[in-house]
Amino acid sequence: MKRHCLKQATTTTVLTFLLGSLMYQSYAKARIAPLNVEEQEKIACLLQDNREICSHFRVKRDTSSCENNNYITAAVINSSLFPITYTSSQFDACLSNQTVKENLQILVYKIYMINLQQMILDKLDEAYPYGVPEDQVLVLQPIATVASVKNINNWNITKLSTLEALLNTSYGSWTANQTAALIARYLGAGNPLDLNLLQAIGGPGICTFNINLLSNISEEILRDLGPINISTCSLDKKQLLYAKAKLAFMGERNNTKQYYSDLTNYLGGAPLEDIKGLINDNFTLDMPTLLTLDPNVLLQLSALDVKRILGDKIVTLPQYESNPIVQQWIDNQPQSALAFLNLNLTGGLVYNNPPWVFNFSIYIPVTGRGSVNLPEVLATILTALLMASWQTFM
């Protein structure tokens, strides 16, 4: 299936290029005056099939009458020069809502300029003031991601298959607001907030839910959902999902490894005490997962905490030294603690002992947990003992 789509896409691109070349040649020959800047840019847009190039073709809609009665008909749409011979304002004035309805399948594949695509979407809304039929919504796929939230709010999306087809990113990416609007249309049609929906929209879709909607996700559904990526969720949403996940997987609490494995994708919402518990249960993470933690939690972890939570993967820490959160964490650690990690990390806090205190470092081995560097503690104890002895002597 993928190979067929790739072949079809390649064929379409080649045909578009050839058609564009013929359009340029025929249109240039048909004119005595040279092409103006807008016409040249339109041709470049068609030749390169590039949304970035086409995206700046945005102008206010013109409600003036169609100049010289050059109405856009099915025959015009199928001509090799369409839509090059129309300015943006004339395209708007000469294309009727009825023509859009009757020729939508061709228009969505032939119009590349973003502002013209938006005009098509707006005219379709005008043609269907009570909602664009679901079969027509599916036809919109090639230009759907251009749609405004207002456009989406006029679409009928009653089937999960329609929602899945629209969320497919083959034709472009959706913003969070657009995704939320699509899901709202599906739920607004009376469909349930169930496992099938969550599997279809994935973590990014779930992150577009508001807090009230997230609260309606049951622990049972979350347990059956499997791993999801909630990195795009806000912190309050991550915290809510983590709390729900803890309840969902509580039955596995006696199996430490399985319990934390299931919770891993939700740790971005975990409080400090839960991360400390994870460390004490000797469950390790890799650096990418560690960086999904709430930054406020991560910054409160000591060098020993990080060594224990990363385990053998501690050697990968220097690879992330340029990460802002990692660098901030390094800057907050005593240099002696960083030296204990033996990773040649640069930065950290320097604590200078009083001149009469002898500087030394003692490492006390802790079975299964590395070593602890305690120079400041021992120096303080020694200073207190010396002062107590001096006072007794006096």
Q: How many domains does the chain have?
A: 1
Residue 5 located in a structural domain = yes
Amino acid identity for residue 23 in this structure: M
Q: Which residues contact 385 (CB under 8 A, 6 or more apart)?
A: none
8-state DSSP, 242:
H
b/e sequence 158-168, b meaning 16+ C-beta within 10 Å? eebebbeebbe
Residue 194 in contact with residue 217, Cβ under 8 Å?
no
Q: Greatest CA separation found in the chain?
A: 113
Query: 3-state SS string over 335-380?
Result: HHHHHHHCCCCCCCECCCCCCCCCCCCCEEECCCCCEEECHHHHHH
Ramachandran assignment for 370, one of left (phi > 0), alpha (psi -120 to 50 degrees), beta (any other): left
Contacts of 335 (CB under 8 A, 6+ apart): 347, 348, 349, 350
How many other CB atoms are found less than 10 A from the CB of residue 45? 22
- The first and second tokens of residue 253, run together, are 């609490």
Angle of the 114-127 helix axis to the 97-110 helix axis, nearest 10: 150
Quick check: is 57 in a domain? Answer: yes
**Residue 116 within any structural domain of the chain:** yes
Q: Which two tokens stand for residue 73?
A: 């008909």
Residue with tokens 């997962």, as numbered in its chain: 289
Q: So what's the pLDDT on residue 366?
A: 42
Phi, psi of 56 (to 5 degrees): -85, 0
203 in Cβ contact with 268 (< 8 Å): no
9: containing domain: 1-126
* Three-class SS state of 155: strand
pLDDT at 2: 42
- Give the rounded distance of the alpha carbon of 109 from its chain centre: 27
State the DSSP H helix or E strand holding residue 303, giving kind and residue range, or none if neither.
helix 303-310
Report the chain (394 residues): mean pLDDT per 10 consecutive residues.
Answer: 43 45 46 51 52 47 70 93 90 95 95 94 96 97 96 98 94 94 97 96 96 95 93 96 96 92 96 97 96 97 96 96 95 90 83 57 44 50 54 50
Domain-located, residue 76: yes
Q: What is the pTM of this model?
A: 0.73
Q: How many CB atoms lie within 10 A of CB 123?
A: 21
Query: What number of other Cβ atoms are within 10 A of residue 286's Cβ?
Result: 13
Please indicate, yes or no, if residue 334 is contained in any of the structural domains.
no
Asked, for residue 348, whether it belongs to a domain, the answer is no
* pLDDT of amino acid 57: 46
* pLDDT for residue 202: 94
316 vs 341: CA distance, rounded Å: 12
CB 178 within 8 A of CB 151: no
CA–CA dist 134, 156 (Å, integer): 5
Asked whether residue 349 is domain-assigned, the answer is: no
- For 274, counting Cβ atoms within 10 Å of its Cβ (0-12 exposed, 13-18 middle, 19+ buried), the class is middle
- How distant is the alpha carbon of residue 266 from its chain centre? 16
| 140 located within any domain | no
